[in-house]
C-alpha cells in the first residue's frame, strides 16, 4: 500500500501547478483507499508474487484510485457539496471549473497508467467500468426528486455509480495474477456485492450519521432530493400525511429548516434505516460467500473483515 501511495503521489504530478495542488487536497484528505486496496489484495489472493519486477498491481491500484478521485471531483460539482471527508470539498475551495478539469486530468492519467501496464484485458475492464459509472451517475440524476423511482432503479444506480468500480478493482487484481476465469469471476462477484453493501450503508449514514464521524454533512441527500433506499422505504411505509411531507420536501424541493429533523424521525420510525442496512447485510453476505472458492488465509480473512467493517460502520 505504501508503494501504491508513492505511485499515486508521483503520477498526480504535472507542470501545471494547480493540478497536484488540487489533487493533493483530495488525496491527502485521507480517503480510505479502499478501491486500490481491493486491487492489491485481490492480486495477492490470486497468488500474484510482488517483487521489483512485479509491480503491475501497484500501478493498476493507483489507476483505480485516480478513476475514483476523478468521479469524486465531478460528483461534488454535480451535487454542489461543500464538504468531503470532513474538509472543505475541492469545488468549494478551488471552484467548480478547477474540479471539472482536474477530474478530467486524473481520468486521462488513469488511462495513461493502463496503457503503461499494457494489458488490453485490464483496459477493457476499467474502460467498461468508467462508462458504467458515468451511466450510473446520469441515471441517478434522472431519478432525482422522483419518489416513484422503483427500488430496482435505485439498485441499478448504485450498481453503476459504486459497485462497478469495486468489481473492476477486484477483477483487475485477479487478471494481473493470471490465475484463471474462476477466480476472476469470484472476485468480480465479491467486489460487486461489497460495493452494493458499501453504497447502501453510505446512503443510510446520510440520515443517521454523526457528522463528525462521517466527515460529510448529514442531510445532503435530502437537500438534493436524492432518491435513496432510506427515502423510498420511508415513503412506501409512510401514512398519507408522511407521504405529503416527502412529496413536498423531495419532489417539490420545498424545504424548511426543520424538515431534516422530521425526515430523520420518519426514517427511524418506519424502520427505513433498518431496511436499508438489512439489504446491505444481504449483499455483504453474498460478498463473503464469493470468497469461498479461495483456500483459507490471513488475506481472505482480511477481505471478509473489510466487508463486515463496511456494514458495521453504521452501527
Q: With CB under 8 A as the rule, give the number of residues binding its own copies.
A: 42
Q: What are phi and psi of 87, to 5 degrees?
A: -110, 165
How far apart CA 142 and CA 124 sit, in angstroms, is 27
Q: Confirm or reject binding of residue 218 to its own copies (CB under 8 A).
A: no
Q: Confirm or reject binding of residue 77 to its own copies (CB under 8 A).
A: yes
Smallest gap from residue 112 Cβ to its own copies (A):
5
DSSP 8-state symbol, 51: B
Positive or negative, the CA dihedral 228, 230, 233, 236 is negative
Q: For the segment 97-136, give every residue that binds its own copies (CB under 8 A).
A: 97-98, 100-102, 104-105, 107-109, 111-112, 114-115, 118, 120, 123-124, 127-128, 130-131, 133-135
- Applying CB under 8 A, the span of 90-98, 169-177, 180-188, 257-265 interacting with its own copies comes to 90-98
For its own copies, the closer CB: 100 or 155: 100
Q: C-alpha cell of 85? A: 471527508
Which residues are within 8 A (CB) of 192 and not within 5 positions of it... i.e. 6 or more apart? 159, 163, 164, 166, 167
Alpha helices in the chain (DSSP H): 2-11, 18-28, 34-45, 56-79, 90-94, 96-117, 120-143, 151-158, 164-177, 181-205, 211-214, 220-224, 229-237, 240-246, 259-269, 272-290, 298-312
Q: For the segment 41-70, give every residue that binds its own copies (CB under 8 A).
A: 70
Burial letters for 51-81: b for 16+ Cβ neighbours within 10 Å, e otherwise?
Answer: eeeeebbbbbbbbbbbbbbbbbbbbbbbbeb
Site string for its own copies, 139-178 (x = CB under 8 A): x-xx------------------------------------
Q: Confirm or reject binding of residue 307 to its own copies (CB under 8 A).
A: no
Smallest gap from residue 224 Cβ to its own copies (A):
10
For its own copies, the closer CB: 134 or 147: 134
Q: Confirm or reject binding of residue 261 to its own copies (CB under 8 A).
A: no
Q: For the segment 240-259, give every residue that binds its own copies (CB under 8 A).
A: none
Positive or negative, the CA dihedral 227, 162, 155, 287 is negative
Give me the torsion for CA of 123, 125, 131, 135, rounded to 10°: -170
Q: Confirm or reject binding of residue 295 to its own copies (CB under 8 A).
A: no
- Applying CB under 8 A, the span of 40-48, 71-79, 179-187, 271-279 interacting with its own copies comes to 71-79
Smallest gap from residue 153 Cβ to its own copies (A):
11
- Applying CB under 8 A, the span of 30-38, 93-101, 286-294, 304-312 interacting with its own copies comes to 93-101
Residue where the block lists cell 460539482: 77
Chain contacts with its own copies (rule: CB under 8 A): 14-19, 70-71, 74, 77-78, 96-98, 100-102, 104-105, 107-109, 111-112, 114-115, 118, 120, 123-124, 127-128, 130-131, 133-135, 137-139, 141-142
Amino acid at each position: 500500500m505504501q508503494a501504491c501511495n508513492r505511485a499515486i503521489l508521483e503520477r498526480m504530478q504535472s507542470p501545471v501547478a494547480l493540478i497536484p495542488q488540487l489533487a493533493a487536497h483530495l488525496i491527502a484528505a485521507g480517503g480510505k483507499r479502499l478501491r486500490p486496496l481491493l486491487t492489491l489484495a485481490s492480486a495477492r489472493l490470486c497468488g500474484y508474487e510482488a517483487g521489483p519486477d512485479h509491480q503491475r498491481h501497484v500501478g493498476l491500484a493507483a489507476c483505480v484510485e485516480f478513476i475514483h478521485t476523478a468521479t469524486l471531483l465531478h460528483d461534488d460539482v454535480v451535487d454542489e457539496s461543500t464538504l468531503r471527508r470532513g474538509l472543505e470539498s475541492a469545488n468549494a475551495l478551488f471552484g467548480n471549473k478547477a474540479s471539472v478539469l482536474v477530474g478530467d486530468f486524473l481520468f486521462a492519467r488513469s488511462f495513461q497508467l493502463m496503457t503503461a501496464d499494457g494489458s488490453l484485458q485490464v483496459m477493457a475492464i476499467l474502460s467498461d467500468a468508467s462508462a458504467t459509472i458515468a451511466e450510473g451517475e446520469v441515471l441517478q440524476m434522472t431519478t432525482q426528486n422522483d419518489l416513484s423511482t422503483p427500488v430496482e432503479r435505485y439498485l441499478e444506480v448504485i450498481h453503476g455509480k459504486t459497485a462497478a468500480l469495486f468489481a473492476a478493482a477486484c477483477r483487475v487484481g485477479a487478471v494481473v495474477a493470471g490465475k484463471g476465469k474462476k477466480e476472476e469471476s469470484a472476485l468480480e462477484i465479491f467486489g460487486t456485492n461489497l460495493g452494493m453493501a458499501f453504497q447502501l450503508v453510505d446512503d443510510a449514514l446520510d440520515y443517521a450519521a454523526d457528522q463528525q464521524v462521517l466527515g460529510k454533512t448529514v442531510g445532503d441527500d435530502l437537500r438534493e432530493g436524492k432518491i435513496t433506499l432510506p427515502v423510498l422505504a420511508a415513503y412506501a411505509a409512510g401514512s398519507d400525511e408522511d407521504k405529503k411531507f416527502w412529496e413536498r420536501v423531495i419532489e417539490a424541493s420545498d424545504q424548511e429548516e426543520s424538515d431534516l429533523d422530521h425526515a430523520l424521525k420518519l426514517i427511524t420510525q418506519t424502520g427505513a434505516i433498518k431496511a436499508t442496512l438489512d439489504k446491505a447485510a444481504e449483499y455483504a453476505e453474498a460478498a463473503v460467500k464469493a470468497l469461498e472458492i479461495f483456500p483459507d488465509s490471513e488475506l481472505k480473512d482480511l477481505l471478509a473483515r473489510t466487508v463486515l467493517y463496511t456494514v458495521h460502520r453504521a452501527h
